[in-house]
């Protein structure tokens, strides 16, 4: 038994597991509704000011445990780039739970909070309707669906500044936040959540699990242990594409982040463009067991911008019975790539990718496109991906080339593997309460959301429902 477990435990109104967007906005809203409420947030990672990734200066991963990119105050999404999608059509399934109109109202509410903490008031994707119409027409001709979504871009460094203010506001309002204190287990008695076990036992009237993708595997284990009802979710597997800014100029200037969906002709698989970063950098993030996967971000400051744009191409896979381990499936593919690249990221020219040959340093060096991920290893993604996913990616790139000529250039760079780990989708009622009473879920780790805005909206909604239920 750990030190402190024999002490008389304090009791909170709410315990929140995870300090990402869902957890933060749940706490903000609870304090707005009832300033006297006692709230505890337990977070695996560090406070915002201690979330420093050495690789951003040295070019080499220092093996921080836990990873400062994927854990800590503000979560992974806000820390990496901070794009706010202002439409319910993007970022998760919240409209399926509470309706489209209410989701939009909550997104607007969360957006106003970001603005109050200093977010850039400029919104992309609404100023050039004629150019958007032209892009949409090209997309339709190529069997691509253009999802039109206004975007507010915080930027990696400005996102940090905003979350410094939010963290201070929460602490000043009396929210207790314990960093580097991962939750090990839940306390459940007679089908009711009573608290959590971290460095010691903590008790509360309500428990919210608001972990992100990094915590999805941990939460699945607990779902299995306590019979928390869930269903097999999807997993997104693919590559991060990097091209010169000149190639993406029309999309970047018109929409900043273009969201395009394609159903491939051979297998009818869904492939989507996700997380576009104009003038950005390709990055590595690390999960448990030092698993390296690729991601990307971009800065607001002009002197930190690059000549390249990067974005993800993700193939969505939904598995049926008897298979129920989508997270492990994605990890196995990422582990194979890590094995081949010495725990780094593989980079391959598209010309080599479609010809089935490994990229070598000589061909990479003569590219017009200079890789922004400096320690990526030239290699062959066909040794990593199943044939079906390889063909899905190839067909998507060919379709994109019809609306953005140059994407299918031999010089285009593909980095692998990019995997989005979503938990098995937890079954809840309309209050986001699980079949375990007083145990609520929110955010990406519960398989409900896939982005900052819907996660934040999910947290606000949940805070309001708990406050209303507590009145009775």
Q: Which two tokens stand for residue 254?
A: 């018109």
Contacts for 217 with CB less than 8 Å, ≥ 6 apart: 288, 327, 331, 421, 423
The pLDDT, as a whole number, for residue 4 is 42
In this structure, the strands spanning 439-441 and 201-209 are parallel
pLDDT level of residue 422 (50, 70, 90 thresholds):
low
Compute CA distances 12 → 175, 194, 440, 453, whole Å: 10, 10, 15, 27
Give pLDDT tens digits for 339-372.
Answer: 999 999 999 999 999 999 999 999 999 999 999 9
Q: Which residue has the higher pLDDT, 175 or 60?
A: 175
| b/e per residue 140-172 (b: at least 16 CB within 10 A) | eebebebebbbbbbbbbebbbebbbebbebbee
3-state helix, strand and coil shares in percent for the chain, rounded to the nearest 5 = 35, 25, 40
Give pLDDT tens digits for 197-250.
Answer: 999 999 999 999 999 878 888 998 999 999 999 887 778 999 999 999 999 999
Give pLDDT tens digits for 53-109.
Answer: 776 666 667 778 888 878 899 887 666 667 899 999 988 899 999 999 999 999 999
The residues pairing with 265 across neighbouring beta strands, listed in sequence order, are none
* Residue that is written with structure tokens 């922004």 in the block: 372
Q: Which of 294, 302, 258 is nearest to 407 (CA)?
A: 258
The pLDDT, as a whole number, for residue 8 is 54
The pLDDT, as a whole number, for residue 334 is 95
Contacts for 183 with CB less than 8 Å, ≥ 6 apart: 17, 42, 44, 196, 197, 198
**Beta-strand (E) ranges in 191-249?**
192-197, 201-209, 230-231, 234-244
Are 389 and 237 spatial neighbours (Cβ–Cβ below 8 Å)?
Answer: yes
Give pLDDT tens digits for 248-263.
Answer: 999 998 888 889 999 9
Q: Which two tokens stand for residue 465?
A: 């429902």
* Residue that is written with structure tokens 């576009």 in the block: 276
On the question of pLDDT at 6 being above 50, the answer is no
Q: Which of 319, 262, 38 is nearest to 139 (CA)?
A: 262
| 252 phi and psi angles, rounded to 5 deg | -60, -45
Mean pLDDT of 137-142: 96
pLDDT level of residue 3 (50, 70, 90 thresholds):
very low
Spelled out in words, what is the top-level CATH class assigned to the domain 11-119+154-231+425-471? Answer: alpha beta
> Cβ–Cβ contacts within 10 Å for residue 405, how many?
11
pLDDT level of residue 301 (50, 70, 90 thresholds):
confident
Q: Which residue has the higher pLDDT, 149 or 24?
A: 24
On the question of pLDDT at 1 being above 50, the answer is no
Indicate the range of 158-162, 163-167, 291-295, 421-425 predicted with least confidence. 421-425
Q: Rounding to the nearest 10 degrees, give the CA dihedral for residues 358, 360, 366, 368.
A: 50
Mean pLDDT of 128-141: 93
DSSP structural state of residue 92: B
In this structure, the strands spanning 259-263 and 270-277 are antiparallel
Are 206 and 60 spatial neighbours (Cβ–Cβ below 8 Å)?
Answer: no
On the question of pLDDT at 471 being above 90, the answer is no
Top mean-pLDDT range of 8-12, 78-82, 264-268: 264-268
Are 372 and 341 spatial neighbours (Cβ–Cβ below 8 Å)?
Answer: no
Domain residue ranges in the chain:
11-119+154-231+425-471, 129-150+234-420
The pLDDT, as a whole number, for residue 421 is 73
Q: Which of 383, 248, 295 is nearest to 67 (CA)?
A: 295
Q: CA–CA separation, 297 vs 81, rounded Å?
A: 5
Q: Which of 432, 435, 399, 466 is nearest to 210 (CA)?
A: 432
Are 336 and 384 spatial neighbours (Cβ–Cβ below 8 Å)?
Answer: yes
Mean pLDDT of 309-330: 86
Q: Strand, coil or helix: what is 76?
A: helix
On the question of pLDDT at 112 being above 70, the answer is yes
In this structure, the strands spanning 192-197 and 270-277 are unpaired
Mean pLDDT over all residues of the chain? 91
Compute CA distances 405 → 236, 243, 366, whole Å: 25, 11, 21
Are 369 and 275 spatial neighbours (Cβ–Cβ below 8 Å)?
Answer: no
Mean pLDDT of 164-174: 97
């Amino acid at each position: 038994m750990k030190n402190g477990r024999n002490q008389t435990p304090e009791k909170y109104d709410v315990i929140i597991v995870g300090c990402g967007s869902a957890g933060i906005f749940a706490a903000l809203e609870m304090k707005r509704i009832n300033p006297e409420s006692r709230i505890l947030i337990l977070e695996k990672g560090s406070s915002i000011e201690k979330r420093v990734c050495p690789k951003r200066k040295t070019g080499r991963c220092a093996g921080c445990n836990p990873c400062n990119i994927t854990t800590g105050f503000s979560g992974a999404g806000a820390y990496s780039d901070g794009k706010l999608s202002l439409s319910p059509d993007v970022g998760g399934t919240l409209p399926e739970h509470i309706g489209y109109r209410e989701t939009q109202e909550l997104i607007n509410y969360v957006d106003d909070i970001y603005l109050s903490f200093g977010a850039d008031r400029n919104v992309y994707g609404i100023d050039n309707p004629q150019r958007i119409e032209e892009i949409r027409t090209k997309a339709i001709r190529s069997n691509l669906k253009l999802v039109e979504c206004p975007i507010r871009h915080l930027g990696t460094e400005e996102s940090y500044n905003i979350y410094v203010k939010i963290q201070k506001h929460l602490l000043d309002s009396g929210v207790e936040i314990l960093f580097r204190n991962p939750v090990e287990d839940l306390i459940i008695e007679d089908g009711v959540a009573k608290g959590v076990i971290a460095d010691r036992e903590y008790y509360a009237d309500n428990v919210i699990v608001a972990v992100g993708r990094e915590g999805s595997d941990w939460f699945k284990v607990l779902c299995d242990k306590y019979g928390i009802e869930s269903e097999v979710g999807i997993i997104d597997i693919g590559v991060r594409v990097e091209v010169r800014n000149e190639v993406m100029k029309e999309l970047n200037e018109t929409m900043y982040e273009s969201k395009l969906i394609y159903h491939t002709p051979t297998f009818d698989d869904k492939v989507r463009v996700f997380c576009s970063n104009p003038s950005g950098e390709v990055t590595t993030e690390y999960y448990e067991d030092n698993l390296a996967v690729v991601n990307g971000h971009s800065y607001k400051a002009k002197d930190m911008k690059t000549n390249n744009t990067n974005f993800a191409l993700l193939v969505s896979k939904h598995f049926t019975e008897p298979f129920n381990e989508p997270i492990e499936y994605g990890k196995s593919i990422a582990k194979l790539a890590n094995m081949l690249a010495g725990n780094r990221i593989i980079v391959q020219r598209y010309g080599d990718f479609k010809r089935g040959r490994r990229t070598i340093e000589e061909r990479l060096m003569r590219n017009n496109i200079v890789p922004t991920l400096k320690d990526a290893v030239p290699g062959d993604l066909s040794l990593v991906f199943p044939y079906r996913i390889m063909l899905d990616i190839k067909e998507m790139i060919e379709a994109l080339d019809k609306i953005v000529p140059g994407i299918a250039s031999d010089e285009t760079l593909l980095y692998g593997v990019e995997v989005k780990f979503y938990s098995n989708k937890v079954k809840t009622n309309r209050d986001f309460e699980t079949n375990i009473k007083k145990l609520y879920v929110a955010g990406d780790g519960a398989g409900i959301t896939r982005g900052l805005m819907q996660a934040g909206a999910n947290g606000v909604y949940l805070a309001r429902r708990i406050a209303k239920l507590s009145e009775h």
